[in-house]
Structure 1
Amino acid sequence: MKIYTRSGDEGQTSLIYGRRVGKDSLRVTAYGTVDEANSTIGVAVAHISSDPQFADVVRFSERVQRDLFDVGRDLATPEDKRDGFYINQADVDLLERMIDTLDAETPPLKQFVLPGGHPAAAAFHLARTVVRRAERCIVALEKQDTVQPMIRKYLNRLSDLLFIMARVVNTRTAVAEPGVDFHAAKPNPFTE
């Protein structure tokens, strides 16, 4: 099987079952953004995959990455070709259990968290923002087309999980979690 097909050279791509749409369609933008989020989670995992203290985070991340393929399949399957959905309430419930499990070990929030700290934490924060963008794409798509109703809920919960994963990485590695106190004076980078 060849990697290149040349079928997209004119700015169109195929949904599952072969229906051609523009690469700039909201549906393609939505599942492309989900794919971007999936790749960004992969970057985060690459930073911690060999560290045994993160075996649970890696395992949770790998499940999420498989789920994101299902989100993409739900988005890329034309409505008249669907015989069911791949993402369901049980997947959302599982995300909530992951959040609760990991959040139990993070210190209480006392300020707004700035993305950063350990490289994996920064990558999980980046993945979180890409998931939020995917969620906005889904909301826009819903205004013109039918979207699997559980996807928006799943992505909303996933962004929460990625936030907690970033915090857990910083906590377990004892890397200071960057934060901002809106009541404190802004630091001067030339004097501090």
Structure 2
Amino acid sequence: MLYTRTGDKGESSLYNGERRVKTDRIFEALGAVDELNSAIGIAHHYCKKSANGLDEHLIEIQCNLQDIGSNIATPRNDASETQLRNTAFDDGHIEKLEGWIDTLDSKLPPLRNFILPSGGESSIFLHQARSICRRAERTTIPVVEANDADESVLKYLNRLSDYLFAAARSAAKHEGLEENVYKKAKSGREASIQTRAL
């Protein structure tokens, strides 16, 4: 059966068998990472639809987020050697992200203004995933500080938000769509929206 009733009293189990309340910092982080994965799933749909070349990256990132969830769900201070080995998160994933960021950024015009989430469906959903990624990073900080998760997990989430920003801009450029540029609204007047083609 899909349901187990074991969480009806507000607790759930971690990979090491420990039970904690669902409001524990670990489950907060797990929930944010799970939400991020879902948001990237939506972005993947639109990126594949537009054939912008980002869909394979996003699938790999989703798989990495599953591994990050396993790492977070296995408190490093109270896990067996086998559990630690099975849920370790390799720094190599961070280096790969950095390579993708550098490649995308090298093909984009320099950023001289704040931009608003815009630039078409692929771009907008990538921006949304970026903002969720920032929250996932924030909720993971106390988990890493308590030595319940590896520092590499936190580094990956930090780098991932940069990737998603570059990917959003790349998606807008691929579709030939403009980004909306932030412009401070003057008091008593409607804000004017500036656009810039990539």
Q: TM-score, normalised by structure 1?
A: 0.89
Q: CA deviation at 1:143?
A: 4.0
Q: 2:124 aligns with which of 118, 122, 125?
A: 122
Letter of the 1:31 counterpart: L
1:34-88: CA deviations, max 9, x gaps?
1110110001111121333x2x300111110000001000000132233334322
Q: Which residue of 1 aligns with 2:84?
A: 83
CA RMSD of aligned residues (A): 2.1
Q: 1:103 aligns with which of 85, 105, 109?
A: 105
1:82-131: CA deviations, max 9, x gaps?
33343221100000011111112211112001112211211111111111
Q: Which residue of 1 aligns with 2:68?
A: 71
Q: Does 1:151 align with 2:134?
A: no
List 4+ stretches of structure 1 deviating above 4 A. Answer: 184-187
Q: Which residue of 1 aligns with 2:143?
A: 141
Distance 1:180 1:189 in 2: 9
Q: Does 1:32 align with 2:31?
A: yes
- Tell me the matched-pair count: 187
Q: CA deviation at 1:3?
A: 1.6
Structure 2 vs 1, CA of residues 146 and 17 (structure 1 numbering), >3 Å: closer, same or farther?
A: closer
Q: CA deviation at 1:185?
A: 5.2
Percentage of identical aligned residues: 34
Distance 2:66 2:10 in 1: 23
* SS of residue in 1 equivalent to 2:134: helix
Distance 1:142 1:50 in 2: 37
Distance 2:55 2:118 in 1: 19
Distance 2:156 2:145 in 1: 18
Distance 1:169 1:189 in 2: 26
Letter of the 1:68 counterpart: L
1:108-160: CA deviations, max 9, x gaps?
11200111221121111111111111111111223444321101111110000
Q: Which residue of 2 aligns with 1:7?
A: 6
* Gaps in structure 1 of 5+ consecutive residues: none
Distance 1:51 1:109 in 2: 24
Q: Which residue of 2 aligns with 1:20?
A: 19
Q: 2:171 aligns with which of 169, 172, 181?
A: 169
